[in-house]
């Protein structure tokens, strides 16, 4: 589509919890985002139709902008005066997280490998079926039907070995005739990663009944796991088929003027464009209700992971289960009973679209977000390896330990830029809250620039880039990316109060300098887009040039400024509750985090 044809664009992103609509209009030569509306995503009863939430969100844009966009529940095109738009585009992740069943011949062997494979791909494993799991045949079939998994990973047998067990498991899956939870518009994906000798039989049994994908055996010989090929398949299939699907999805497909993109694909595209244009190592995160998506570009290699079990609404209780309640509570600057925290998070799980209404409740959500971000990055680090499918020999003794294959590309000291997106980071009432959530959960090291997605529109811009790159990039730089500033975290440990850094900032607006002591954190205002910083760390501390070595770097200012984080790396919070609460109170107050 030519630029001249596009003057008014409406774009939506259907998340698992909220549907967001933005209006983009051409003002002179530049595209700008002008109005925004949002509404709860309508995948639940009574509607069970994602387009209802879309219409509600667009209606909000209509009311705020005064532009008539809808007629008889259809988007009016093209734009004419104050009516209609030139194109409607959308992304979707309304299908929510990835909930899988895995099946392996022997529960303690291939069953466990398959489970590790799915967990590593960011899925929730609902059950592990195995030939020897002690359940009768009909119980296995009943279980598959009852759980309505999004995907099944079938494995079993070493390459060339006996095929009986995997064939038997395939027959159970066929007999269960599992239906995807979101209706019959597509076939249930089954990934086969077992004995290669059984390919013909598996194809015959499941080929026509399911969307069968055959990949390399995840345990080709007993002593070796090869989880990467199946993990990448799970990931791809999730993005392509499961995540964007939701009740009413076919209706949405008819409404849009360009193919619907899965939300992570769209956000990934924008991250990649940004990293390449600026030659940065970038880490971007989109923390949603059901999933947390992490994107990185390190040494020009792009990686994307979707942690389908970590999020702030549907998956909030899973964050609690995985991180543990004490890990969440360690970020709270007040005392609260564990029972109270548990009940609050469970209430969010059962009513995922509610929002915090008190300061205390907001701080609980920020604490959960830190843990979700931390766990999602751990998962990303494990999957973001240089060569996909690097295999690792396993001896019988270490066959059950979960270790990543290959060396992770993610190195926090080499990271130049972090972008936060998703409801909790984009909509935090104070930008410093988003900044500290990212600093705490990622334990940033050295010099790192920070930004957030202003009102959560990276998905919309990603899908728009497919049809009009200029419009997408105009809005990205002018309206989407809110520069927070730069974080400085010397790596090392010392005694409280010890001087660990001398710093000097040179900017067009003027110079400032000072020092940083161990255990303190503060920010200095800096609005300039570009500035230089000279850092002289104490012996034993590293800010990017090695221990005790002077480091000069280009930085950016922003709404927060420059944060000096002297809390040490690795960051260790005091163990005693009183001391911990006192520290958090002091830090949050110093940064003016909450009213």
Question: Segment near another protein (CB under 8 A), from 45-53, 68-76, 81-89, 472-480?
Answer: 45-53
Rama region for 501: left / alpha / beta (φ>0; ψ in -120 to 50; rest): beta
Rule CB under 8 A: is residue 189 a binding residue for another protein? no
Q: How far is the CB of 46 from another protein (least distance, A)?
A: 5
- By CB under 8 A, name the one of 2, 28, 29, 45 that touches another protein: 45
Question: Segment near another protein (CB under 8 A), from 65-73, 207-215, 259-267, 343-351?
Answer: 343-351
DSSP 24-35: EEEETTEEEEEE
- By CB under 8 A, name the one of 99, 155, 217, 292 that touches another protein: 99
Cα 585 from Cα 593, distance rounded (Å): 10
- By CB under 8 A, name the one of 205, 275, 345, 412 that touches another protein: 345
Map the footprint of another protein across residues 569-588, applying CB under 8 A: none
- By CB under 8 A, name the one of 110, 115, 317, 405 that touches another protein: 317
Interface characters, 137-176, with another protein (x: CB under 8 A): xxx-xxx-xxxx--------------------------xx
Interface characters, 233-262, with another protein (x: CB under 8 A): -------------xx---------------
Q: In angstroms, how far is CA 111 from the centroid of its own chain? A: 27
Rule CB under 8 A: is residue 346 a binding residue for another protein? yes
Q: How far is the CB of 33 from another protein (least distance, A)?
A: 16
Closer to another protein by CB, 228 or 243: give it: 243
Residue 257 and residue 77 in contact, taking contact as beta carbons nearer than 8 Å? yes
Its sign, for the CA torsion 144, 147, 148, 153, is negative
137 backbone dihedrals φ, ψ, rounded to 5°: -55, -50
Q: How far is the CB of 430 from another protein (least distance, A)?
A: 7
Cα 96 from Cα 286, distance rounded (Å): 14
Cα 459 from Cα 265, distance rounded (Å): 8
Map the footprint of another protein across residues 377-436, applying CB under 8 A: 427, 429-430
SS3 readout for 72-124: CCEECCCCECCECCCEEEEEECCCCCCEEEEEECCHHHHHHHHHHHHHHCCCE
The closest of 98, 59, 146, 119 to 245, measured between CA atoms, is 98
Q: How far is the CB of 357 from another protein (least distance, A)?
A: 6
Closer to another protein by CB, 141 or 562: give it: 141
Rule CB under 8 A: is residue 60 a binding residue for another protein? yes
Q: Which residue in the block uniquely carries the two structure tokens 């009432």?
A: 429
Rule CB under 8 A: is residue 355 a binding residue for another protein? yes
Cα 161 from Cα 279, distance rounded (Å): 49
Rama region for 526: left / alpha / beta (φ>0; ψ in -120 to 50; rest): beta
Report the relative pairing of strands 124-130 and 531-537 from DSSP bridges: unpaired
Compute the half-sphere exposure of residue 180: CA atoms within 13 Å on the CB side of its CA.
Answer: 23
- By CB under 8 A, name the one of 12, 210, 307, 309 that touches another protein: 309
Interface characters, 272-301, with another protein (x: CB under 8 A): ------------------x-----------
Rule CB under 8 A: is residue 59 a binding residue for another protein? yes
Q: How many residues bind another protein (CB under 8 A)?
A: 76
Closer to another protein by CB, 296 or 363: give it: 363
Residues contacting 324, CB < 8 A, separation 6+: none
Rule CB under 8 A: is residue 209 a binding residue for another protein? no
Closer to another protein by CB, 80 or 347: give it: 347
Rule CB under 8 A: is residue 92 a binding residue for another protein? no
């Amino acid at each position: 589509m030519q630029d001249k044809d596009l003057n008014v664009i409406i774009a939506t992103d259907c998340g698992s919890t909220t549907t967001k609509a933005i209006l983009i209009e051409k003002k002179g030569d530049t595209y700008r985002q002008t109005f925004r509306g949002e509404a709860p995503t309508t995948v639940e009863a009574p509607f069970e139709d994602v387009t209802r939430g879309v219409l509600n969100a667009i209606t909000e844009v209509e009311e705020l902008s005064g532009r008539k966009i809808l007629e008889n529940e259809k988007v009016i095109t093209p734009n004419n005066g104050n009516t209609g738009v030139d194109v409607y585009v959308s992304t979707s992740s309304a299908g929510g997280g990835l909930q899988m069943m895995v099946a392996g011949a022997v529960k303690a062997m291939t069953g466990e490998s398959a489970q590790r494979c799915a967990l590593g791909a960011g899925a929730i494993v609902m059950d592990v079926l195995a030939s020897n799991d002690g359940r009768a045949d009909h119980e296995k079939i009943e279980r598959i039907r009852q759980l309505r998994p999004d995907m099944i990973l079938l494995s079993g047998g070493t390459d060339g070995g006996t095929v009986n067990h995997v064939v038997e498991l395939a027959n159970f899956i066929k007999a269960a005739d599992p239906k995807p939870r979101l209706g019959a518009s597509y076939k249930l994906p089954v990934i086969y990663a077992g004995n290669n000798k059984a390919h013909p039989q598996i194809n015959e049994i499941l080929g026509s009944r399911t969307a069968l994908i055959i990949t390399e055996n995840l345990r080709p010989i007993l002593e070796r796991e090869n989880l990467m090929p199946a993990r990448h398949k799970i990931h791809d299939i999730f993005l392509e088929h499961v995540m964007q699907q939701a009740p009413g999805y076919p209706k949405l497909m008819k409404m849009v003027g360009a193919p619907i993109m899965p939300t992570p694909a769209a956000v990934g595209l924008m991250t990649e464009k940004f990293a390449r244009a600026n030659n940065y190592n970038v880490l971007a995160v989109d923390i949603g209700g059901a999933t947390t998506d992490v994107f990185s570009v390190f040494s020009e290699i792009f990686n994307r992971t979707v942690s389908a079990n970590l999020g702030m609404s549907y998956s909030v209780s899973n964050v609690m289960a995985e991180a543990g309640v004490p890990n969440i509570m360690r970020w709270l600057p007040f005392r609260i009973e564990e029972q109270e925290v548990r009940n609050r998070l469970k209430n969010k799980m059962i009513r995922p679209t509610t929002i915090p209404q008190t300061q205390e409740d907001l701080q609980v959500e920020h604490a959960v977000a830190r843990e979700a971000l931390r766990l999602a990055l751990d998962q990303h680090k494990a999957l973001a390896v240089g060569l996909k499918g690097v295999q690792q020999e396993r001896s019988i003794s270490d066959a059950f330990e979960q270790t990543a294959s290959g060396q992770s590309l993610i190195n926090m000291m080499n990271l130049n830029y972090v972008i936060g997106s998703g409801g909790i980071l984009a909509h935090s009432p104070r930008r410093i809250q988003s900044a500290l959530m990212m600093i705490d959960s990622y334990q940033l090291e050295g010099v790192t620039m920070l930004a957030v997605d202003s009102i959560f529109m990276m998905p919309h811009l990603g899908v728009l880039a497919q049809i009009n790159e200029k419009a997408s990039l105009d809005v990205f730089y002018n309206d989407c990316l809110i520069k927070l500033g730069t974080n400085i975290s010397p790596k090392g440990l010392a005694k409280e109060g010890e001087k660990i850094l001398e710093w000097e900032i040179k900017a067009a607006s003027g110079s400032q300098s000072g020092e940083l002591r161990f255990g303190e954190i503060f920010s200095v205002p800096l609005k300039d887009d570009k500035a230089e910083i000279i850092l002289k760390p104490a012996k034993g501390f590293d800010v990017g040039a090695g221990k005790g070595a002077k480091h000069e770097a280009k930085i950016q200012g922003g709404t927060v400024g420059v944060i000096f984080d002297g809390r040490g790396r690795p960051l260790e919070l005091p163990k005693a509750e009183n001391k911990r609460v006192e520290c958090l109170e002091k830090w949050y107050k110093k940064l003016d985090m909450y009213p």
